[in-house]
Structure 1
Amino acid sequence: MPDYFRSNIQAMAGYTPGEQPKHGSGIIKLNSNENPYPPSPKAIEALGAIDGECLRRYPNPYGNEFRKAVSHVLEIPLDWIIVGNGSDDLLNIVIRACAEPGRAVVYPTPTYVLYQTLTQIQAAEMVEISYGEQYELPLESLIAAQGAVTFIASPNSPSGHGVAIADLRKLAAHLAGILVIDEAYVDFAETNALELVKEFENVLLIRTLSKGYSLAGLRLSFGIGQPNLLSELFKVKDSYNIDAIACVVGAAAMLDQDYKNACADRVKASRSQLTVDLRSLGFQVWDSQTNFLLMQPAHHNAEFLYQQLKAKNILVRYFNQPGLEDKLRITVGTDSQNQILVEALRQIAFSNPKNVVKL
C-alpha cells in the first residue's frame, strides 16, 4: 500500500468490538455488556414525540437539555458537566487535549483496550502497569509514572472489580496530570467516586447511558469535572458532537431513576445467581461490581469454550491477549438466558470433561 498514513497508524491494530449478530438471529448475546432489559418507557415515549423541527436544526452544542437532567439528578452545577457521543468520545477528547509524544498516558492492565488504541492514534507514550494477581491496584507505580493522563476504570473491565475510593483519592492527590475515572459500570456498583471531583481539580469522572440505562445504541455519555478543567476540554470536542435525538431521549432516561435502579437491581440479583451456578461447575469466577463476570475454566482453555458456546448460538467475549487468554468475560443476561448458558456449559463439560472441568 502507498505511504498514505502516519507511521504510528500503520503500525497499530485497531480496536476490535464484540461481535454484533443481526437482530432476530436467535443468538444469545452475552459479549458486549448490554443491559438485558429495555430502556425506560419514558425514554421511548420521548423518542416518539420528536418532531421534524428538532431534526432540521442543529442541536445545542453542549447538549444542555441532557446536562440539565444530569445536573438535577446528581445535584451538581451545569458547568461541571460535559456531554459526549458515548464514553469513547470523551476518552478521545481527553487524549487529544492532553497527550502527545513525550506526554505519557498511564493505566493499569488488563483494562479497557480503547485506552491503548486512542493513545497509539495520538502517537503518545503509553505506560501499561500490570494489576496484581487479584487485581490489586499498582498504586505506587501509577504515581511514579506521572502520566499526563492516568486512566482508571472503576469498576474495571474485564475483571469486574471496583477500585477503593481511598486509592483513587491518593492517586488524585499525587498526580500532576489528569486522573480520569471511567465509571461506565457504576450503576451496578456499591460505591462511586463523585466526591473526588469536588475535592480535586485534576479529576474527571466519565459515565455512560449504555449500560445501566439500556441505551447502548443511543451513544450518549457525560463527564463531570471542575469548570476550569472542562473549559479546556470543550475546545477539543466536535462542534455538535451530541445529536438532538440523543439529548431528548437521554434526558428522559436520566430523570427516570426509579426504572433504571429497578433494572440494575435485577441485573445484580442475576449476577449473584450466575456466579453461584458457574462456580458449581468448577469455574473460577471473580466477584463483580458490573453487569458481567470474568470466568476462568479449570483447564485454562477459554478459547475452546468460547468456540463451543458460539456453536450453540451463545456469544461471550474472549480476549486473546496476555493475562486474559485463559479467561472469558460473560455479560449477565436475563435469568432465562443465564440458565441456557449454564446448561450449555454443563453439556460441554459432560461431553468434554478432560477439556473443561477437573475430574
Structure 2
Amino acid sequence: MPSYFRSSVDAMTGYIPGEQPKPGTPIIKLNTNENPYPPSPNAIAVLRQLDPEWLRRYPDPYANDFRQATSEALNIPKDWIMVGNGSDDILNVIVRACAEPGRSVVYPMPTYVLYRTLVEMQVADRVEIPYSENYEFPMDELIAAQGAITFVASPNSPSGHAIALSNLRHLASKLSGVLVIDEAYVDFAEETALALVHEFENVLILRTLSKGYSLAGLRLGFAIAQPQLLSGLFKIKDSYNIDAIATLVGTAAMQDQDYKNECAEKVKRSRKTLALDLRQLGWKVWDSQTNFLLTQPSSNAEKIYLALKECGILLRYFKQSRLDDKLRITVGTDEQNRRLIKALNNVL
C-alpha cells in the first residue's frame, strides 16, 4: 500500500505521551508530573459560573485578559507575552517559524523529547548534544553548534536539574539564533531566567500552567520575549489558538499567586522527604528542582515499573538509551508518596 505521507513523517516515531487513565480510575498517578493539589479555588469558581455566551462567540485571539494578568503577576509588559494552547503549541510555532533544512535546532540530551519530534516534522537539521552522567551543562558545544534555535529546559526533564542563571546568560550572549529557555517547572525551582528577556533580544522564556497551577487539562502556556521576537511568532500561530474557557480560568489562576506558591512549597517539602525515603531503599536519586525525581533503582527499573502498575501505581519508564535503567517519579501528596514507598518495599 503506498504511503500518503511525507517521507519525514513515515520515518518519525512520534511523541509518546505518558499513560492517561480515565478520571476516577483508582490509581496513584505519578507518571506525567501533574500537580497533586487542585487548581486555585478562584479558577474553579470561574468555571462553575461560566456564561454560555462565552461559548457562542469566538475567543479573543490574543487572550488579552490573561496577558494582562500575567503582566501584573510577573512585572512584564503585556506586549512581551504570547499565549498558546499549552507551551507545546508555542514550541511548535517556534520551530515552524525559525527552523528549516540548513537551519539547525540544538539542545542537550536527554531532555523533553518533543523537541526532537517537532524538528523531525519540520525536516530541519538537528544537533543533539549529550549531557554528561552528572548533567554538567555542555556550554562550549552548544555555542559551537550555533543553532537557529537552541532549546534549554531549565529545570530539565527528566533529570530535574536547573541551569545556573550565569550559564544561561553567557550562552545567550554567544548565540546568533534564538535561545528558548523552557521553564515548565520553574515554580518548583530556586531561580528563574526571566531577567534575561530584558538583557537579550534573542531570548524567549517559555512557561506553562500545567505544573505549578494544577491546570494540565486546561492546555494553557505562554512565551515571554521582546516584541520584535514575538512578532514573527504571531504570524505563525493559529487565529484562535486559545479558547475562551482557558482564558477565563487561566486568568483567575494567574491572579492567585499566593495559592500557587503555597501548593508549590508543599510539593517541595514532599519532594525532599520522598528523595530521602528512596535513598534509604538504596536507590540513586538525582537532586531536583521540579515536581518529580529521576531515580535509579537498586534492581531492574522496567520490572519495578510493571510491578507497581499491577499494584495501581503509575511511574514513568523511558525505554531509551541512558534512561532504561531509571524511573521518573512525580511527587504526589504525602499520603500518595507513603503508599508508593510501602508498595516498593513489597515489590522489592
Query: Matches of residues 10-25 of structure 1 in structure 2 within 5 Å?
Result: 10-25=10-25
Measured in 2, the distance between the counterparts of 1:269 and 1:140 equals 35
Deviations 1:258-281 (A, max 9, x none): 100000000000000000000000
Q: Could you tell me which residue of structure 2 aligns to residue 3 of structure 1?
A: 3
> Deviation at 1:297?
1.2
Number of residue pairs aligned between Structure 1 and Structure 2: 348
Give SS of 2:258's match.
helix
Matched to 2:191, the amino acid is T
Matched to 1:314, the amino acid is I
Q: Identity, % of aligned pairs?
A: 68
Q: Could you tell me which residue of structure 1 aligns to residue 28 of structure 2?
A: 28
Give SS of 2:127's match.
strand
Give SS of 1:108's match.
strand
Deviations 1:307-349 (A, max 9, x none): 1111111000000111101100000000010001001111111
Q: Could you tell me which residue of structure 2 aligns to residue 275 of structure 1?
A: 275
Query: Matches of residues 204-283 of structure 1 in structure 2 within 5 Å?
Result: 204-283=204-283
Give SS of 1:238's match.
coil
What TM-score comes out, normalization by structure 1 length?
A: 0.96
Measured in 1, the distance between the counterparts of 2:285 and 2:39 equals 29
Matched to 2:298, the amino acid is A
Matched to 1:305, the amino acid is I
Q: Could you tell me which residue of structure 2 aligns to residue 331 of structure 1?
A: 330
- The answer to whether residue 348 in structure 2 is matched with residue 341 in structure 1 is no
Measured in 2, the distance between the counterparts of 1:274 and 1:246 equals 33
Which blocks of at least 5 consecutive residues in structure 1 are unaligned?
Answer: 350-359
Give SS of 2:223's match.
strand
Matched to 2:311, the amino acid is K
Query: Matches of residues 105-120 of structure 1 in structure 2 within 5 Å?
Result: 105-120=105-120
Measured in 1, the distance between the counterparts of 2:288 and 2:176 equals 31
Q: Could you tell me which residue of structure 2 aligns to residue 146 of structure 1?
A: 146
What TM-score comes out, normalization by structure 2 length?
A: 0.99
> Deviation at 1:3?
2.3
> Deviation at 1:298?
2.2
Give SS of 1:181's match.
strand
Give SS of 2:144's match.
helix
Give SS of 1:194's match.
coil
Give SS of 1:265's match.
helix
Measured in 2, the distance between the counterparts of 1:226 and 1:25 equals 44
Deviations 1:23-58 (A, max 9, x none): 221111000000000000000011122212111111
The two structures, once aligned, show a CA RMSD in angstroms of 0.6
Measured in 1, the distance between the counterparts of 2:132 and 2:23 equals 39
Measured in 2, the distance between the counterparts of 1:266 and 1:120 equals 38
Measured in 2, the distance between the counterparts of 1:273 and 1:76 equals 35
Measured in 1, the distance between the counterparts of 2:23 and 2:54 equals 28
Deviates more, 1:224-233 or 1:47-56: 47-56
Matched to 2:150, the amino acid is T
Give SS of 1:298's match.
coil
Matched to 2:155, the amino acid is P
Give SS of 1:347's match.
helix
> Deviation at 1:132?
1.2
Give SS of 2:236's match.
coil
Deviations 1:89-136 (A, max 9, x none): 000000000001111000000000000000000000110000111101
Deviations 1:125-167 (A, max 9, x none): 1100001111011000000000000000000000000001111
Measured in 1, the distance between the counterparts of 2:25 and 2:216 equals 19
Matched to 1:85, the amino acid is N
Measured in 2, the distance between the counterparts of 1:24 and 1:73 equals 34
Measured in 1, the distance between the counterparts of 2:309 and 2:227 equals 47
